[in-house]
Chain A
Amino acid sequence: MTSTEKTSTEKTTEKTTEKTGTEETGTDRRTTSSDDPATAAPAAEAGFAARAIGLRKVFGATVAVDGVDLDVPTGSVLGMLGPNGSGKTTLIRMLLGLTRPTAGRAELLGHDVDAAASAALPHVGALVEGPGFHPFLSGRANLSRVAAAEPLLGRQPLGPVVDAALERVGLSAAADRRYRGYSLGMKQRLGLAAALLLPRRLVVLDEPTNGLDPAGTRDVRRVIGELHAGGATVIVSSHLLAEVEATCTHVAVLQSGSLLAAGELRTLLDTGGSGLVVSTPDVELALRTLREVGVTAYRTEDGVAASDDGPPAPEVIALLVRAGVAVHEARRNRTNLDELFARLTEETP
């Protein structure tokens, strides 16, 4: 990963200036993600791994994707959320150049998808719309066929690459069985192996945990974590919120083809609620103490909640402790992704 990256960075930096609207929360990039030690080093490379600029796709009378602007920062793990039929897959297919947009354009690793997808695609691994393989070939033969088409494998022998990929997804034992006999989870694993056949700069996984058992889901999480640590950008689409919350640094929420929200996961969750939640048995004392200094406070299930209009959080806690309130736990009042998602998708009709 050397010379080609240089050209793509040059291209993307000049494009960051013409940022398009709709994603107020997407102004994060490296500054915020650098507190995660794993991302600090690779994130030094600026720009976006993928961009959608006014992407729109109409199938007959149905608007599948309706003018989506989305920037995927390099090195991020973007979770694409949305109910079934919200346009996740169509958006991903347009980003990869598999579907021609009705309007707008897409960029991959700094290259325009319509004009120069072939420059970016060798660095992109993708598992889109489920694994696609030939039933009469073994897992290994199927993967060899995928490997033969990979430009970056040059003229090196494919066998070791294929074996390593099979090993990585835990399919070594079943490598010589026909794909026909694979279970749903094994098929999904083989699809993952094809996407990760060689080191990628961008990995796109469309519903990667479909049909996987809990161990398989954990494996996918581990793989995403490894990719992230290695500096790769990952786009995961899913309707499993917990999965996204556990693995992603960024989120994009789609509904009926429109982007409802996009940005860093933490920022989005913070906007959901505010203030401080304190667990304590001394509710009355805590309420009195807080109201004395002018903080709006109210009773919660196991303690009190303080609004943000008073002194900063450390002072509030110090105040409570000094007043003799037994503080068991104090945390930001943060919604989880479930609540955020429900709120976003229910707000708009």
Chain B
Amino acid sequence: MTTAVLPAAAPRSAPLARLLGSELTWVLRRPRTLVMLGVLALIPIVIAIGVTVVADEFADRRGGPGLIGAVAGNGLVLPVASITLALALLLPMAVTTAAADAIAGEAASGTLRGLLLAPVGRLRLVVMKAFGVLVVATLAVLVIAVVGVLAALVVVGAADGQLVTLSGTTIGLAEAMGRLAVVVVWTVGQLAAVGAIALALSSLTEHPMVVLAAVLGGLIVFGVLTAVPALDWLQPYLLTSGWTAGADVLRDPMPWGGLIESSLRALCYTAVGAGLATHRMLRRDA
């Protein structure tokens, strides 16, 4: 037998900090998480290279108002543009993968019952899993932001430390970084909404692929619905309809309306998703 000494009052659950630490190690050791982060890091690099190459050819007729076009010669737009671009599909995919593995994946590999038998309380399990997904979301956005800034400084040049906004004005480096932080936090919030819905689906099945297909399919359907003019009344309810607001930080003065509205919407989605996931996990057979 092992030499474990049982404390007088036997605890009914492991310390939360240790559970979260263990979840973090598990998430970060998973090869697909690392591959995903690596791919996300490539986005700003690819855009930066693409823009420098293209910028030379189009040097004369530059001035197209596109977000990507604005990157040329104005490096600090790069991280914001990369995050906005990745939010369309890659970031939600990274978060959904994490959420799918978090519960459905654990059920599929037979490790969920191990956790429940330990026992990790069912509520704690949801907290632990939500934490893991949130960590992946945050890391994914941060990777793009950090690589984006570095790539901008190296490849595109920082426009003398100034950020030329889409409105044509310039702001200082400090404020530019502040605005980047705003877009990072805002994006993590949107991804938390995706993650919460994905976790809810994940708690319903033991097939991670189902979660991935459902969430990504849902996002595409949302995109289609957004494009149908007759369904304009649906817009306030669709998570994706506010996802262009990230680029607002590049305007001067910065319009907060879109960012706040989409954040509130994300909050609603997060609450619904977390509620469903908790409700289901309290009853789930493992």
Q: Which residues on A are within 8 Å of B, measured CB to CB? A: 1-4, 93, 96-100, 117-119, 121-124, 126, 128-137, 141, 144-146, 148-156, 160-161, 164-165, 168, 194, 197-199, 226, 230
Contact = CB atoms under 8 A, between A and B. Distances in A.
B157 interface: no
A134 B111 contact: yes
Given A122-B11, A122-B12, A148-B18, A98 B117 contact: yes
B121 A118 contact: yes
Contacts of A230: 1
A132 B30 CA distance: 16
B111 to A, nearest CB: 5
B6 A1 contact: yes
B33 to A, nearest CB: 10
A18 to B, nearest CB: 27
A151 B118 contact: yes
B12 A136 contact: no
Interface of B: 1-15, 18-19, 21-22, 25-26, 29-31, 109-121, 283, 285-286
A148 B22 contact: yes
A149 B15 contact: no
Contacts of A134: 26, 30, 109, 111
B117 A133 contact: no
A164 B285 contact: no
- For the complex of A and B, the 7 pairs showing the least CB-CB separation, nearest first, are A132-B110, A148-B22, A149-B118, A121-B119, A198-B4, A164-B2, A132-B111
A133 B12 contact: no
A4 B9 CA distance: 7
Contacts of B12: 118-119, 122, 151
Contacts of B113: 98, 128-129, 132
Contacts of A130: 110
Contact of A2 (B2, B6, B118, B121): B6
Contact of A148 (B3, B14, B111): B14
Contacts of A168: 2
Contacts of A199: 1-2, 4, 6
B107 to A, nearest CB: 9
A96 B6 contact: no
Q: Is the interface of B mostly helix, strand, loop or mixed?
A: loop
A136 B4 contact: no
Given A133-B111, A141-B29, A198-B4, A118 B13 contact: yes
B117 A154 contact: no
Contacts of B13: 118, 151
Given A100-B285, A132-B113, A136-B31, A145 B26 contact: yes
Contacts of A124: 117
Nearest to A131: B110
A68 B203 CA distance: 30
Contacts of A98: 113, 116-117, 285-286
Contacts of B26: 134, 137, 145
Contacts, number: 123
16 contacts: A3-B8, A93-B285, A98-B116, A122-B10, A126-B117, A128-B117, A134-B26, A141-B29, A145-B26, A149-B118, A150-B118, A151-B12, A155-B18, A160-B2, A164-B3, A199-B4
Contacts of A153: 4, 14
Nearest to A146: B114
Given A122-B12, A161-B4, A136 B30 contact: yes
Nearest to B2: A164
Nearest to B4: A198
Given A134-B30, A151-B13, A156-B4, 12 more contacts: A3-B9, A3-B10, A93-B285, A100-B283, A122-B119, A129-B113, A132-B111, A149-B22, A149-B120, A153-B4, A156-B5, A199-B4
B29 A155 contact: no
Nearest to B121: A118
Given A151-B11, A153-B4, A145 B22 contact: yes
A151 B120 CA distance: 8
B105 to A, nearest CB: 9
Contacts of A99: 285
B165 to A, nearest CB: 45
A205 B113 CA distance: 14
Given A122-B12, A132-B109, A146-B114, A137 B119 contact: no
Contacts of A121: 117-119
Given A144-B22, A151-B119, A197 B14 contact: no
A3 B114 CA distance: 26
A312 to B, nearest CB: 44
A99 B285 CA distance: 5
A151 to B, nearest CB: 5
Nearest to B9: A3
Contacts of A122: 10-12, 118-119
Q: Which of A4, A130, A151 has the most CB of B within 10 A?
A: A151
A160 B15 CA distance: 18
Q: Which of B5, B6, B112, B116 has the most CB of A within 10 A?
A: B6
Given A151-B12, A155-B15, A230-B1, A135 B121 contact: no
B221 to A, nearest CB: 31
Contact of B2 (A96, A197, A226): A197
